[in-house]
Amino acid sequence: MNLVATPAHLSTVSSTFEQDFSQRLHWSMEQDAAIEERVAAILADVQQRGDAAVLEYTARFDGLNAPDLAALELTQAELQAAFDSLPEGQKTALTEAAARVRSYHEAQKQATGQSWSYRDADGTLLGQKVTPLDRVGIYVPGGKAAYPSSVLMNAIPAQVAGVAEIIMVVPTPKGEKNPLVLAAAYIAGVTRGFTIGGAQAVAALAYGTATVPKVDKITGPGNAYVASAKKRVFGHVGIDMIAGPSEILVLADGTTPAEWVAMDLFSQAEHDELAQSILLCPDADYIAAVQRAIDRLLPEMPRAAIIAKSLSDRGALIHTRSMEEACAISNRIAPEHLEVSSRDPHRWEPLLKHAGAIFLGAYTSESLGDYCAGPNHVLPTSGTARFSSPLGVYDFQKRSSLIEVSEQGAQTLGRIASVLAHGEGLQGHAWAAEMRLKG
Amino acid sequence: MNLVATPAHLSTVSSTFEQDFSQRLHWSMEQDAAIEERVAAILADVQQRGDAAVLEYTARFDGLNAPDLAALELTQAELQAAFDSLPEGQKTALTEAAARVRSYHEAQKQATGQSWSYRDADGTLLGQKVTPLDRVGIYVPGGKAAYPSSVLMNAIPAQVAGVAEIIMVVPTPKGEKNPLVLAAAYIAGVTRGFTIGGAQAVAALAYGTATVPKVDKITGPGNAYVASAKKRVFGHVGIDMIAGPSEILVLADGTTPAEWVAMDLFSQAEHDELAQSILLCPDADYIAAVQRAIDRLLPEMPRAAIIAKSLSDRGALIHTRSMEEACAISNRIAPEHLEVSSRDPHRWEPLLKHAGAIFLGAYTSESLGDYCAGPNHVLPTSGTARFSSPLGVYDFQKRSSLIEVSEQGAQTLGRIASVLAHGEGLQGHAWAAEMRLKG
């Protein structure tokens, strides 16, 4: 097999650029009606029959039989044993990564997750109280996409937020457990875990069963069934984003070794044939050098077939008129991962409006961010960085407004409220304000 | 017609309390399959045919005909004229309310909505950049629930966040426009407005048409069609919460005049027959006094029929063993509006974990918060305060992680990332990190 990776070579000066670019970018989350229907049935069944339904689906879909759901609970001893049995190098790496992720999220909580209040001239107290969620569920995929790093990235912000109970679900097809996933759960402070997955696990967390406690919010990635189930229970419980395929966009000024950039494009492409890797650069020679590096490095890659298909079907090397134009195009894409591979990244960063995470400078490979730099690797995909944010401590907190109106304040506010309430035809509202007016 | 309002009188010492209480609380957002199907069809149609489809649905559902969609745009001159033509009292009240809401949300942005970053010992820069959304859509209901205060509460936080374009949609059945709504749009800084509504307006905002620009997020309340449409476009654009019926919970120690509390219960009940008003109090005599106040005041209320039905079907006056127990029950309910009608509200506030907004002290009627205290009146309903927050500036901002790893930092981080990436079978990730290691 002679694999080649042939990303589209585009140029912004071409008359067909807009068309070619749109075509390359196009991806839409298919809403498969058959999946939606099956998921709706599973949710209803688990809501009604609880443990028994979850057990049946686990037997049917994961080939895992158990006498009762309690038998599928992971004990803390089992999580700890998984950690203890890791090779020393993995144990250290996991521990250090967890410490860095924790430290970043503590800084995040300190910076933007604190209660606040003030008193205005009338003595009225206004503010917000920030409190953690009581109990959250974390979905961890099994099988080929079982990533211990995702356990850290979901559980640690919840723990830093102060969530008292973190319930992990992870399918273990045929009962095969991933020791790194269990070890990560141990390090990250997961409270309880169950080896269940799919829509049935989402349903168990959303509605609660005799064995699985109902949670307030469910986060974590999953397949189309999990995504559909999360979307359906949204409102009943909170959810994080529905993730699409992963993406990287590299803005290069041509000063980073071409091999580094090629490998960064690979590290996205190797995830999934649908993953998208794009390079934007004003230097045509550099683009050619990156393509040569791709050709040279591809045969050595263990996941070469996935990389070749991803780059050929969805990748693009785009020659731009300038770095400024490259920044503008990046804003249109609103990429999940954005590398500013430049000698002078701080010149370009202020121009970048929409991105999940921005990696500044040649040494900041996306993979460092994926594992251990500290920031979360759960990021908005498919252009949703236009309106959403990385997973964070704020996803595991909620706010309550605080209002304390003084007797004096009620005189000012009461008159305003009364006029507006009468204007809306809500006399009860008006009179409640008027009753607090003096004489 | 001899109306009576008979909320359930419950007591926590009763052996049937748990059962009675659960029954009273029960409310579930019905997922009407027929509505879902019709909404899906409307969304697909607008996505495909754009303006033409929106025009047809507007003619069919709102009885409003226009030659093209541009004819349904509200001009800035029209918004300003609506404001200018208001009676002086309304003009002042609206302006003062808007100023207070703006000032509160500016404090909110200052307290929790700023970019932040730090450098660790290795010189690695970590942080988050906070930026406004580019363009948002605000849904404003027409007809009986057309509330100008909601225009303020949705548009002002967007404006404070720095959103450049705020697009309002508001249905005007048979072309009848509400001048207070238009005036509020003028005061709140709405950029463009269209007199369209329903699922077709949500679709126009989510997908964009030739005339209506595509937005990044849609907020604002609406009927079952609007709610279903918002839920369906979620992911393609951002949305705020799906709201259920409004609720108030009053925690009373018996020191507030009973009429005030009765009127506060009314001011919730008058919204909607499904609205829920609950009083929790350890003083049986006070509960009796509130019931007498209800009986006395009800006949005077212009919306007495709605109030009577809401209180009788869904209201409750609950006698608790203590204020502590009342706080615990309030946490189980996680109410949208929570009044702590007590001489000593700061004694109880720390015990309250879940609520949309907490109103402290006898003078802080919910209606002051609804209109002009400053905090947002768009609040999580139906127990969703367990995991979600009032609408705020943060809903119109998003965050991008910032990471800049120094050459030195890449040596430490690269070794950790390499071990973990190999553990996950992602060699591209590992090699991208290893390439940045020296010698």
Q: How many Cβ atoms sit within 10 Å of the Cβ of residue B421?
A: 25
Q: Of the candidates A356, A111, A339, A257, which has an alpha carbon nearest to the alpha carbon of residue B405? A: A339
Please report the pLDDT score of residue B53 as a whole number: 98
The ipTM, to two decimals, is 0.94
Beta strands in B161-298 (DSSP E): 165-169, 192-194, 217-219, 238-239, 247-252, 276-281
CB contact under 8 A, B386 and A133: yes
Please report the pLDDT score of residue A33 as a whole number: 81
Residues 208-227 of chain B with CB under 8 A from chain A are 216-217
What percent of chain B stands above pLDDT 90?
A: 88
Q: Cα(B67)–Cα(A250) distance, rounded to whole angstroms?
A: 47
Q: Given CB atoms, is B358 within the 8 Å cutoff of chain A?
A: yes
Q: Of the candidates A191, A188, A175, A184, which has an alpha carbon nearest to the alpha carbon of residue A142? A: A175
Q: Of the candidates B428, B326, B399, B417, which has an alpha carbon nearest to the alpha carbon of residue B161? A: B399
Q: Cα(A406)–Cα(B363) distance, rounded to whole angstroms?
A: 6
Q: Tell me: pLDDT of B31 over 70.
A: no
Cα→Cα distances A291→A251, A258, A339, B121, B363, Å? 15, 9, 18, 36, 70
Of the residues A247, A336, A339, A366, only one is catalytic, namely A336
List the Cα angle A137/A140/A143 in 5-degree steps: 155
Which letter, b or e, does each residue of B82-118 get, where b requires 16 or more Cβ atoms within 10 Å of its Cβ?
bbeebeeebbebbebbbebbbbbbbbbbebbbeebee
Q: Cα(B265)–Cα(B274) distance, rounded to whole angstroms?
A: 13
Q: Cα(B184)–Cα(B372) distance, rounded to whole angstroms?
A: 13
Q: How many Cβ atoms sit within 10 Å of the Cβ of residue B174?
A: 7
Please report the pLDDT score of residue A223 as a whole number: 87
**Residue A422, annotated as binding a ligand:** no
Q: What band does B245 get if pLDDT is binned at 50, 70 and 90?
A: confident
CB contact under 8 A, B90 and A420: yes
Q: What band does B244 get if pLDDT is binned at 50, 70 and 90?
A: confident
Please report the pLDDT score of residue B146 as a whole number: 75
Summarised one tens digit per residue, pLDDT across range A81-99 is 999 999 999 999 999 999 9
Q: Tell me: pLDDT of B316 over 70.
A: yes
Chain center to CA of B130: 22
Q: What band does B295 get if pLDDT is binned at 50, 70 and 90?
A: very high
Please report the pLDDT score of residue A319 as a whole number: 98
Active site residue A319: no
DSSP 8-state class, residue B237: B
Q: What band does B27 get if pLDDT is binned at 50, 70 and 90?
A: confident
CB contact under 8 A, B235 and A241: yes
The residue of chain A nearest to residue B415, with distances taken between CA atoms, is A93
Q: Of the candidates A355, A375, A424, which has its C-beta nearest B147's C-beta? A: A424
CB contact under 8 A, B375 and A401: yes
Domains in chain B and their CATH numbers? 8-29+244-373 (3.40.50.1980), 33-239 (3.40.50.1980), 405-434 (no CATH)
Cα→Cα distances A24→A21, A105, A314, Å? 5, 35, 6
Q: Of the candidates B199, B193, B208, which has an alpha carbon nearest to the alpha carbon of residue B232? A: B199
Set of chain B residues whose Cβ sits within 8 Å of the Cβ of A372? 413, 416-417, 420
Q: Tell me: pLDDT of B14 over 80.
A: yes
Please report the pLDDT score of residue B122 as a whole number: 86
User: Minimal Cα–Cα distance from A70 to chain B, Å?
Assistant: 26
Dihedral in degrees, nearest 10, Cα atoms B43, B47, B48, B53: 60
User: Minimal Cα–Cα distance from A57 to chain B, Å?
Assistant: 24
Q: Given CB atoms, is B140 within the 8 Å cutoff of chain A?
A: no
Q: What band does B29 get if pLDDT is binned at 50, 70 and 90?
A: low
Q: Given CB atoms, is B152 within the 8 Å cutoff of chain A?
A: no
Set of chain A residues whose Cβ sits within 8 Å of the Cβ of B352? 400
Please report the pLDDT score of residue B26 as a whole number: 80
Per-residue three-class SS string for A116-181: EEEECCCCCEEEEEEEECCEEEEECCCHHHCCHHHHHHHHHHHHHHCCCEEEEECCCHHHCCCHHH
Q: Which residues of chain A have pLDDT under 70?
A: 1-2, 28-31, 143-145
Q: Tell me: pLDDT of B379 over 70.
A: yes
List phi, psi (to 5°) of A11: -140, 135
Q: Tell me: pLDDT of B95 over 60.
A: yes
Q: Of the candidates B217, B355, B426, which has its C-beta nearest A270's C-beta? A: B426
List the catalytic residues of B: 336-337
